[in-house]
């Protein structure tokens, strides 16, 4: 009888405290808002993913990597104009996400580069993406694919814009 009471009490504790402990362990201060990608033409070997990364904690974090079955390799990239030339390059060491702040990944700026696409990205479809953070760990999201010419997701994300003083896009150089 005594053994049964101990077992029943242990089961009660696991049933009551277990979900609370699991919720704490799985919660994160990083949230991913509106992930999206553009459709790609047949034969394209690269694509990009855009989103807003929100850090609700008082500690800065870094996006250090990404993975998905849609491409052979994923990198965190930045596009910017230097000396009138648009340049795109991988961000070494990760993309900083400030404490109590957010970072927008959008066309013409930061993005997750999909290199070696296994098949074209098709509008209306979606794919899984895992984002790795230095402190928050891995966060999985589903990325909807927008039309080929999309510059934003439902009007909430910015487009390319005018990025140099000559009024045009300038040249693009990939490093």
Least confident window among 36-45, 58-67, 120-129, 143-152:
143-152
Asked whether residue 7 is domain-assigned, the answer is no
| 79 neighbors 86 (Cβ within 8 angstroms) | yes
Over the stretch 70-119, which tens digit does the pLDDT of each residue have? 999 999 999 988 889 988 999 999 999 999 999 999 999 999 999 999 99
pTM over 0.75: no
Measured from the Cβ of residue 149, the count of other Cβ atoms closer than 10 Å reads: 8
Instruction: Domain count for the chain, please give it.
Output: 1
Give the CA angle between residues 72, 74, 77 to the nearest 5°: 145
Q: What confidence tier does 153 reach under pLDDT thresholds 50, 70, 90? A: very low
Q: Read off the CATH number of the domain in which 79 is found.
A: 2.60.40.1890
Over the stretch 109-137, which tens digit does the pLDDT of each residue have? 999 999 999 999 999 999 999 999 999 99
* Range(s) of the domain holding residue 130: 28-160+170-174
Asked whether residue 16 is domain-assigned, the answer is no
* Sole residue written with tokens 């993309």: 95
Pick the residue with more confidence: 132 or 1?
132
């Amino acid at each position: 009888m005594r053994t049964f009471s101990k077992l029943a009490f242990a089961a009660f504790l696991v049933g009551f405290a277990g979900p609370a402990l699991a919720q704490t362990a799985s919660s994160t201060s990083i949230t991913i808002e509106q992930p999206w990608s553009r459709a790609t033409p047949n034969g394209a070997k690269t694509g990009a993913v855009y989103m807003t990364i929100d850090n609700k904690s008082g500690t800065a974090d870094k996006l250090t990597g990404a993975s998905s079955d849609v491409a052979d390799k994923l990198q965190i990239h930045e596009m910017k104009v230097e000396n009138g030339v648009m340049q795109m390059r991988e961000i070494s060491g990760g993309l900083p996400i400030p404490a109590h702040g957010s970072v927008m990944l959008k066309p013409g700026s930061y993005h997750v580069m999909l290199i070696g696409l296994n098949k074209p990205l098709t509008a209306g479809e979606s794919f899984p993406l895992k984002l790795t953070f230095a402190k928050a760990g891995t966060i999985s999201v589903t990325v909807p694919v927008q039309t080929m010419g999309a510059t934003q997701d439902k009007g909430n994300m910015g487009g390319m814009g005018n990025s140099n003083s000559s009024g045009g896009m300038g040249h693009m150089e990939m490093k």
